[in-house]
Amino acid sequence: MTPSFAAPDARAIPIRLVARAELDAWLDRQDEPVRDWVAANDFTGRAGQILRLPAPDMSVAKVLFGWGEARDHQRGRFLFAKAAAALGPGTYALDGDLTDNAREEAALGWLLAGYRFTRYAGSAPDAPMLKVPKGVDAKRLEAIAQGECLTRDLINTPAADMGPEELEHAVRDLARAHGASVAVTQGEDLLEANLPLIHTVGRAATRAPRLIDLRWGDTGPSLTLVGKGVCFDTGGLNLKPGASMGIMKKDMGGAATVLGLASMIMALRLPIRLRVLIPAVENSVAGNAFRPGDILTARNGLTVEINNTDAEGRLVLADALALADEDPADLTVCMATLTGAARVAVGPDLSPFYTDDDALALALMQAGKRVRDPLWRMPFHRPYETMIEPGIADLDNAPSGGFAGSVTAALFLDRFAQRAPRFVHFDIYGWCPSAAPARPKGGVGMGARAILDALPGVLGL
């Protein structure tokens, strides 16, 4: 789907936002039939409530939408998306006094509410259209929505149809759409190219592992995005239980998210030099699978003791980050569905991130708050470095004890980004466990909109 707004000259039915506290004052300005209709239908302005006001010919003259109370907006995002989900085909216009940020959130939520994953069943219904609200940058929001829909589609596609090769095809399609270049190293060539960890993790699968390298832009500051592309994770020889394997098609959510972000950046023609690195593998079980107790050597020469083959994401990211570190960008961003510990810490809705750069962290937090893409800073707690140093090798991929699992994973990755002047790692979930406004159950982008919003200030654009 290509999310878009209605034509500027389209005739539209106004949707009037009415908060609980404002309802009486608004009713005082209406004629008696409207007041009677509102009372008869028990419209109180509660969050998400919808009431259609009839015209004399019984068509819809106006829609009232309950804007609720302040706490309704503190406890949830994209409230206006409920209108898009509830109203039938037609063209509508937002009518209400909102701040610039709230107006943008409402418009974006409307676009995202139209998302449907219909590859295998059903079809997308005719969605209601919204005229561009005053002061909203339609091109920007359409690019953001398109990038988010790309992320959702990639995550939602089952691994049978979204393996390393299909993920490569998706990158190539994106590159063709925006004039980017793509280079791919796969199979045994990974060893020749000194990408041994990507090869080791993916060698047991029937579909060849690969490193996908997209480049776009030739002027401006540089940005490298590194995304975990584990297209399916059985856990390897440390096999996951069935209940934990059920949604492992989403283990390439980091790759899907950086591709969605790259789509936004290229569509908006930001003046930067963009690089996207995706190690794409399946973590499978076979006679040549890597084993607990193995000691592997990464691209940058660090040795890694394998204590859990289910901690494979940090291994493939290590090679990709080491490659990026050989030509460090002004900003390097790593995104991965990496640890269950992060979900225990902050749940499925927050995107935890790690950086030693206080200014970068502040910019990201402020951007996340501004665009309602919530983030939470986590610590690179250096005293925990000893937990990832097993003695028999430089690093341990799965420290025992179970403490601080997300922190130790981030510290592990940091060892492969030592030359990057500004580095941030996101440990995201990439999945919406239950439907919410503008976010159906399933794959979802996390952190990309906040990063996009922060980029101008962070990179000096």
The catalytic residues are: 240, 314
CA angle (452, 454, 455) in 5-degree steps:
65
- Give the pair of three-digit tokens for residue 353: 């991130």
Upper half-sphere CA count for residue 169 (Cβ side, 13 Å) = 7
Helical spans, DSSP H, in 87-223: 100-113, 138-156, 164-178, 189-192, 196-202
Q: What b-and-e string marks burial along 439-456, b requiring 16 or more CB atoms within 10 Å of the CB? A: bbebbbbbbbbbbbbbbe
Measured from the Cβ of residue 188, the count of other Cβ atoms closer than 10 Å reads 11
Nearest by Cα to 429 from 358, 356, 374: 374
Q: Are 106 and 133 in contact (CB under 8 A)?
A: yes
d(CA 387, CA 254): 25
Nearest by Cα to 320 from 334, 308, 331: 334
Q: Are 430 and 254 in contact (CB under 8 A)?
A: yes
Nearest by Cα to 209 from 178, 224, 188, 228: 188
- Give the pair of three-digit tokens for residue 268: 């908006």
CA angle (317, 234, 263) in 5-degree steps:
45
